[in-house]
Amino acid sequence: MTATVSEGVHDTSQIPAPEGSVTVTVKLLRFNPEVDSEPHWESYDVPALPTDRVLNLLFNIKNYVDGTLAFRRSCAHGICGSDAMQINGVNRLACKVLVKDLLAKDGKPTTITIAPIKGLPTMKDLYVDMEPFFEAYRAVKPYLIAYGNEPTRERVQSPADRERFDDTTKCILCAACTSSCPVYWADGSYFGPAAIVNAHRFIFDSRDEGAEERLDILNDAEGVWRCRTTFNCTDACPRGIQITKAIQEVKRALLFKRV
């Protein structure tokens, strides 16, 4: 969907302005499937403290100006991965971005643009359909696969073996990586970086016996070879996961048939 240029401006005088707040213009890409044929920009002048998160601004707009504004969030503390969105053109979690880091220099007026993440169908405003993302996630079998008899005690692992996949355990499935990937934008059938990260988490786990199955899946035409190493995914990840490195490790495991 392409955004139209029309820009609504709203009365935001009901939003409380705490002492020390500055007014920032929040430009939201809005889309209501019941009335709009295309997304369009709407602007809201919002009082904000430098210590506010972008999520606070969205709540103020929703609570005081337009209750129909749709966006996802749950924990508000960078843990659940619900509120990935494009903030000033880059994928970020709205609950982790502080207003002070977006303020224009020298007291000039600040505009913050917020749009839904790309590559997934927009259902309403900033709220996207995550199902294609989770479908790719499920396809790589993101769970421990172990054959043989149930062990009578826990499956032990050395600290060094645990370290091999430590980075990829940090994923919170926010989709910031996959939805910043140009290969995924061009062809949604690519598994995408998040699915590969979650496959990596089990492929390199010494307790797991499903590496071969997962590598077969990722050797597919829509698999790991589609990655063009643009690093967008690594830049976007709010958990700082070295995604491109993880993808390279999966490629190497496929090439050398060794995990």
Tell me the two tokens of residue 75.
Answer: 């924990």
From the CB of 188, what's the least distance to ligand FES, in Å?
23
Q: Which of 79, 104, 144, 186 binds ligand FES (CB under 6 A)?
A: 79
Size of interface with ligand SF4, in residues (CB under 6 A):
17
Handedness of CA 94, 102, 61, 130 (dihedral sign): negative
Nearer to ligand SF4, 65 or 241 (CB): 241
Question: How are beta strands 84-87 and 110-115 bridged, if at all?
Answer: antiparallel
For the segment 167-226, give every residue that binds ligand SF4 (CB under 6 A). Answer: 171-177, 193-194, 197
**What residue 243 binds from ligand FES, ligand SF4, none (CB within 5 to 8 A, per partner kind)?**
ligand SF4
73 lines the binding site for ligand FES (CB under 6 A): yes
In angstroms, the first-to-last Cα distance of the chain is: 41
Nearer to ligand FES, 99 or 259 (CB): 99
From the CB of 1, what's the least distance to ligand FES, in Å?
24
Give me the residue label for tokens 């590496």.
211
Distance from C-alpha of 69 to C-alpha of 254, rounded to nearest angstrom: 45
* Cβ 201 vs Cβ 142: under 8 Å: yes
126 lines the binding site for ligand SF4 (CB under 6 A): no
Question: How are beta strands 90-93 and 84-87 bridged, if at all?
Answer: antiparallel
Nearer to ligand SF4, 177 or 259 (CB): 177
For the segment 229-258, give every residue that binds ligand SF4 (CB under 6 A). Answer: 236-239, 241, 243
Only segment of 68-76, 135-143, 220-228, 229-237 that touches ligand FES (CB under 6 A): 68-76
From the CB of 225, what's the least distance to ligand SF4, in Å?
19
For the segment 80-119, give every residue that binds ligand FES (CB under 6 A). Answer: 80-83, 93, 95
Residues 6+ apart with CB under 8 A from 131: none
**What residue 175 binds from ligand SF4, ligand FES, none (CB within 5 to 8 A, per partner kind)?**
ligand SF4
Using CB under 6 A, list all residues that contact ligand SF4.
81, 171-177, 193-194, 197, 236-239, 241, 243
